[in-house]
Amino acid sequence: MLTTDPAGTKRFRERRRLIADDDLAGRLRELGQLSTDVRRSVVRMIDGAQLGHIGGDLSVTDILVTLFGGVLAVDPEKPRDPDRDRFILSKGHCAAALEQLHGRSHLHDPHGHGWHLDRARFDAFLRSAAGAAGAELRRAEAVPHLTHAGDRRVLIREDGRLEEVRCDWVVDATGRRAVIGRRRGRRRKQDRLVALFALFGRRLPGHRTEDAELRTLVEAVPGGWWYTAKVPAGRLVAHLTDADLTDSALRTAEGFLDAIGTTRHVRTRLDGYDPAHAPAPCWTAAHGLRLSPAAGPGWIAAGDAALAFDPLSSQGILTALHTGARAGRTVDLCLSGETAALTDYSLFLQRITDAYERHHAEIYGQEQRWSEHPFWERRQQMP
Ligand SMILES: Cc1cc2nc3c(=O)[nH]c(=O)nc-3n(C[C@H](O)[C@H](O)[C@H](O)COP(=O)(O)OP(=O)(O)OC[C@H]3O[C@@H](n4cnc5c(N)ncnc54)[C@H](O)[C@@H]3O)c2cc1C
């Protein structure tokens, strides 16, 4: 899947300008540096995939870097521009080198690399920070059908006992379930995306090498996409597709493993994991979801409860933190009598939604190989 994005486009243009504006010595230095970056990525990619032709990729790199860095009229933002230069690589064994110049790598990202979050430890850290700030923490369940947001009370179940808690304001941070907000607002689903995911933890007996590949891999397939990432407990593999397009065989450990076997790249990341201990996948909803309104007098929703994203965005946790912090400030303002803060909060969520929907269309629109398959066709027709 092509993954050029606005940041990648900006980076490409900056590097081109730097190369164009420099004197000969500077130009050679920049191109040389770019070649080194590309070669490093090629070696990592081929090592990760355990296939490819390293010699050919390394030898063609200087030519590709010179063409894409200083000669060809190409703009990553306009791949279909009829006036762009066309480059045809009739040297298929060296596609890995070419891919480096089209792809987006965290190695070259001016905003730095991405992060893998140890969610259990992060949540424990947040709880202790809340405790240190004076919050009283209760491990209880908000009982959905009996809780009335806006009435400034919540019914909770703790150790099997029901209790009504009165409060000045209720913040719904119960994720996609939106236990409180769903009774107040309307929920709009973006599509029918679901995730089937399994954690592979057991290494093959006698397999000595560690799984040292820390980069997240996303691979598009006709009926959706896969991703895999190393997590503290092993390797997570997930398949994203639409609920109505899901093959029932995928629900079993064997079926899931078979499906992984049909991928080109994801399967290589499971080298060394014991297939005999392949777990049956779990399911979860993964579609974009918007609660509207997401706040009213006495209540406010934050995180996935207010706005949940397709995981391809990789923005869910960041947005949950962002909306959580903003919801907190909004409540604070409302408690001081500034009720217009609720309108500002709605506008803030709207801006995030607009940007998310734009990026969603842009990223899904880049995959053109299976545009007649319902999964991709539906996404190309989204507003
Ligand atoms: C398959 C998949 C992959 C993803 N990958 C990424 C990624 O790579 N990067 C990223 O940034 N985001 C990713 N996300 C999104 C990310 O997980 C969410 O956006 C994020 O967790 C939202 O945080 P939250 O606190 O709002 O909700 P959640 O993390 O869902 O937390 C909600 C909490 O509320 C609790 N709760 C629920 N009901 C009740 C109740 N009745 N009473 C009391 N408590 C309750 C739950 O137990 C949970 O602790 C992914 C999501 C999916 C589905």
In a domain, 305, yes or no: yes
Single residue among 243, 261, 285 that ends a domain in this structure = 285
Is the shortest distance between the CB of 284 and ligand 1 below 6 Å? yes
Quick check: is 294 in a domain? Answer: yes
Do 125 and 38 share a structural domain? Answer: no
Q: What is the pLDDT of residues 313-371, one digit of tens each?
A: 888 999 999 999 999 999 999 999 998 999 999 999 999 999 999 989 988 988 889 99
What's the confidence (pLDDT) of residue 310? 96
- Please check the confidence at residue 90 and state whether its pLDDT lies above 80: no
Say which range, 38-52, 157-171, 206-220, has the weakest mean pLDDT.
38-52
Count the domains in the chain.
Answer: 3
- Which of 139, 174, 289 has the most ligand 1 atoms within 8 A of CB, as the residue to mutate? 174
Q: CA separation (Å) from 237 to 65, 164, 253?
A: 34, 41, 12
Instruction: Tell me, yes or no, whether 24 and 98 share the same domain.
Output: yes
Best residue for ligand 1 mutational test, from 317, 356, 363 (most atoms within 8 Å of Cβ): 317
Beta bridge partners of 187: 291
Bridge partners (DSSP) listed for residue 5: none
- Average pLDDT score over residue span 238-259: 94
Q: Find out whether the beta carbon of 195 lies less than 6 Å from any atom of ligand 1.
A: yes
| Structural Rg of the chain based on CA atoms | 24
Mean residue pLDDT of the chain comes to 87
Residues 297 and 376 in one domain: yes
**pLDDT band with cut points at 50, 70 and 90 for residue 260:** very high
Site to probe by mutation for ligand 1, drawn from 177, 194, 196, 300 as the one with most ligand atoms within 8 Å of Cβ, is: 177
Contact 22, 30 (CB under 8 A): yes
CA of residue 172 to ligand 1 center, whole Å: 12
More confident residue, 226 or 91: 226
Helix spans in the chain (H): 6-21, 24-49, 54-66, 95-102, 119-132, 253-261, 316-335, 341-365, 374-380
Q: Look at ligand 1, atom 29, and give the residue with the nearest C-alpha.
A: 175
More confident residue, 107 or 253: 253
Residue 59 lies in a domain: yes
Domain identity same for 166 and 277: no
Residue 150: pLDDT over 60: no
319 CA: nearest ligand 1 atom = 19
CB 366 within 8 A of CB 4: yes
Q: Specify the 3-state DSSP secondary structure of 171.
A: strand
- The C-alpha angle 329, 187, 351, rounded to 5 degrees, equals 45
DSSP string for 302-313: -GGGTEE--GGG
Parent domain of 261: 201-285
pLDDT in tens, 106-136: 444 444 456 788 888 999 999 999 999 999 9
Stronger pLDDT, 244 or 106, i.e. the higher one: 244
pLDDT of residue 196: 97
Looking at residues 173-197, what average pLDDT do you find? 95
Domain annotation covers residue 194: no
Boundary residue ending a domain (285, 309, 334): 285
Give 192 Cα–ligand 1 centroid separation in angstroms: 18
Residue 99 pLDDT: 64
- Percent of residues, the chain, with pLDDT higher than 90: 51
114 domain-assigned: no
**What is the DSSP pairing of strand 170-172 with strand 299-301?**
parallel
Answer yes or no: do 205 and 139 share one domain: no
The answer to whether residues 256 and 272 belong to one domain is yes
Does residue 257 lie in a domain region?
yes
Q: Does 301 lie in the same domain as 185?
A: yes
**For atom 46 of ligand 1, which residue has the closest CA?**
174
Q: What is the pLDDT of residues 296-309, one digit of tens each?
A: 999 999 999 999 99
What is the average per-residue pLDDT within 92-103? Answer: 65
Is there an atom of ligand 1 within 6 Å of 69 CB? no
Distance CA 197, CA 318 (A): 21
Q: Are residues 312 and 184 in the same domain?
A: yes
Q: Are residues 179 and 308 in the same domain?
A: yes
Among 285, 308, 329, identify where a domain stops: 285
> Residue 364 belongs to a domain with what CATH number?
3.50.50.60
Measured by CA distance, the residue closest to atom 18 of ligand 1 is 316
Give the closest residue (by CA) to ligand 1 atom 19.
Answer: 316
| Structural domain contains residue 75 | yes
Which residue's CA is the nearest one to ligand 1's atom 37?
A: 174
Nearest atom within ligand 1 for CA of residue 156: 42
Which residue shows structure tokens 């991709």? 376
Whole-Å CA distances, 215 to 218, 227, 377: 10, 11, 29
CA angle centred on 103, ends 262 and 9, rounded to 5°: 145
Instruction: Answer yes or no: do 291 and 362 share one domain.
Output: yes
Atom of ligand 1 nearest to the CA of 285: 53
Are residues 298 and 184 located together in one domain of the fold? yes
Residue 161 within any structural domain of the chain = yes
Residues 294 and 372 in one domain: yes
